[in-house]
Amino acid sequence: MKLTQALKMAAKSISGNKGRSALTMLGVIIGLAAVIILVSYAQGQNLAMEKYYESMGENKLTVYAYAYNNDVDLAEELSNYCQQISDCVAGITPNEYVWDVNIQYGVQSLGQNNNSYGVSIGGGVYVTDSYNTRPQFYLANDQFGLCNNYTLAKGRELSYMDIKRLNHVCVLGAATADTLFGMVDPVGKEVTVNGLPFTVIGVYAPKGNGTTEYNEEGDNWQEVEMSRMDRIVVFPYTLTRIFNGNQSVSDFTVKAKDSKSAKEAATLIRSFLSGLVDMENGNGYADVYNEGVYREEENEANKLQQYFLGGIAAISLIVGGVGIMNIMLVTVTERTREIGIRKAIGAERGSIITQFLIEAAMICGIGGILGIIVGYLGTLIVGKLAFKIVLIPGVGITVGAFAISVALGIIFGIYPAAKASRLQPVDALRAD
C-alpha cells in the first residue's frame, strides 16, 4: 500500500467518526496544552527571578560584621580595605536597616515602629500589617545606589561630605517620594524625620511598576519585592545617634566587578574580617554571603520545578494515549471484515500495521496542533495574569510537544495495529 493511499484511508476513517475522533483528540489536546502551559509558567518564573536579581544588582556580596570592641570602626576599616582590592570590588556601602522612624512632609507622613507601620495622609491614619508596603529606612554612604543598582531620577546621591559632616539629608525611593510629595518636586524640600529637619537631596528611579500602592495578593512576589524596594529612605550612616542608639552599623553590601571577582572578593573580605574581629573569643562576628551562589541554587531549583511540572502534565498525555489505544482497538473490531478481505487478496502484515499506525498518528497530530494552539493562548493568559508580561512558549517546547503527540499516537497504536495484522483471513471474514 502506498503512503498517500494510507493517509487518505486514515483521513476518511477519522472524518467518518467525527464525534468519536474529537473526543479521542480531546485527551491529547488537554495533555499537550497542560505541558506547554506549565513548562512555560516555570520559564516565566525564571524570567521574573532574573528581573528581580537584575533590579537588586549583579555580583553583590552581603557582609555582616560587628565587634564588641568599640575602638574598631568596622565601616571605616572595611571601606578602606575594599579600596585596596579595587581590582575586584566596585563599591561598598553600609546597608543598615533602622526601625522606629517617621518621616513627614506637611500633613502627609510615613512611619513605622517595631509593632506597626502605616501611612498617614491628610490626618487620616491608614495602618497596614503588610511587610510589602511599609517604608524602608536605611543608613548608607555615597555608594548605596551603585551597590544596590539604583539610578537617580533627580537630584544627587549622598556625598562623602554628607557622611563626614553628619548632614541631615536623605534620598527617597520613587514610591516614598510619590506618597509624600505627589506631583511636587521633592529635591530641596525639607521633611521632618523623628522631629528633626532633613533636606531631600535626591530621588531614585522606580524599580517596580512606578505606582504607590501594590496589590499584595495579586502580584507575584518578585514584583512585590521590587515595588517594596521603591519605598526606601536613605540617610548618612554616621547618623547612628539619631536612628539606632549610637550602635555601630553591622550590615554592608559590597558590589564586585563581575561574577568571577565576586568569589575572590568574598574570600579576601572574609579573611580580612577574621583578622579584624575576634570571633574565637566571642568578641564579635563576621561573615560574607555571596548572593551569586544563592542565585545559582535558585536556578537549579527552578529547573527541578520545571521538570516536575512537566512530568505532572505528561501524566495527562499518557491518559490521552490510553484513550487512543482504546479507540483504535474499537476501530480494529469494527473493521475486522475489511482487514480479512485485504489479507485474503494478498495484503501483508506490514501494510495493515502501517495503516493503523498512520491513523493513530494522524489523530494525535491533529490533536497536537490544536493542543499547541490552546497551549499558546493559555500561556499568554498565564503570562499576563501571573507575571504581567507577554509569555510565549519556546520553539523547542512547541516542536517537542508536537513530536511527542505524534510519537504518542504511534506508541499507543502499536498494539491495536499488531492485533489487526495477526487476524486470520478466514476468521476475519466470518466476523459480523
**Are 112 and 42 within one domain?**
no
Phi (first) and psi of residue 356, to 5 degrees: -75, -35
Residues 312 and 205 in one domain: no
Domain identity same for 100 and 47: no
pLDDT for 116 equals 42
Based on the domain organization, do 181 and 101 belong to the same domain? yes
Residues 330 and 237 occupy one common structural domain? no
Residues 218 and 335 reside in one and the same domain: no
Measured CA to CA, the distance from residue 157 to residue 247 in angstroms comes to: 24
Task: Say if residue 244 is in the same domain as residue 102.
Answer: yes
In the chain, the number of structural domains is: 2
- Check: CB of residue 317 under 8 Å from CB of residue 408: yes
pLDDT tens by residue, 51-60: 666 556 568 8
**% of the chain exceeding 70 in pLDDT:** 83
**What are the pLDDT digits (tens) for 241-279?**
899 888 888 899 999 887 778 888 988 999 998 888 877
Q: Is residue 385 part of a domain?
A: yes
Please indicate, yes or no, if residue 260 is contained in any of the structural domains: no
Residue 191 lies in a domain: yes
- Whole-prediction pTM value? 0.60
pLDDT in tens, 348-385: 888 888 888 888 888 888 988 999 999 999 999 988 88
Q: Are 183 and 31 in contact (CB under 8 A)?
A: no
Q: Which of 184, 186, 231 is nearest to 211 (CA)?
A: 231
Q: For the chain, what is the largest distance between any 2 Cα atoms, rounded to a whole number of angstroms? A: 106
Residue 264 lies inside a defined structural domain of this protein: no
pLDDT value at residue 220 = 47
Q: What is the pLDDT of residue 216?
A: 42
- What is the DSSP secondary structure assignment for residue 380, as one 8-state letter? H
Give the domain extent around 128.
96-251
* Residues 317 and 396 both lie in one domain: yes
Q: Which strand (E) or helix (H) includes residue 288?
A: strand 284-290
Residue 209 has a pLDDT of 52
- Is there a domain that residue 318 lies in? yes
150, 45: one domain: no
Task: Indicate whether 285 belongs to any domain.
Answer: no
Q: How many C-beta atoms surround the C-beta of residue 4 within 10 A?
A: 8
> Which of 147, 135, 170 has the alpha carbon at shortest distance from 252?
147
In a domain, 91, yes or no: no
Give the separation between CA 177 and CA 200, rounded to whole angstroms.
Answer: 10
In this structure, the answer to whether residues 208 and 353 fall within a common structural domain is no
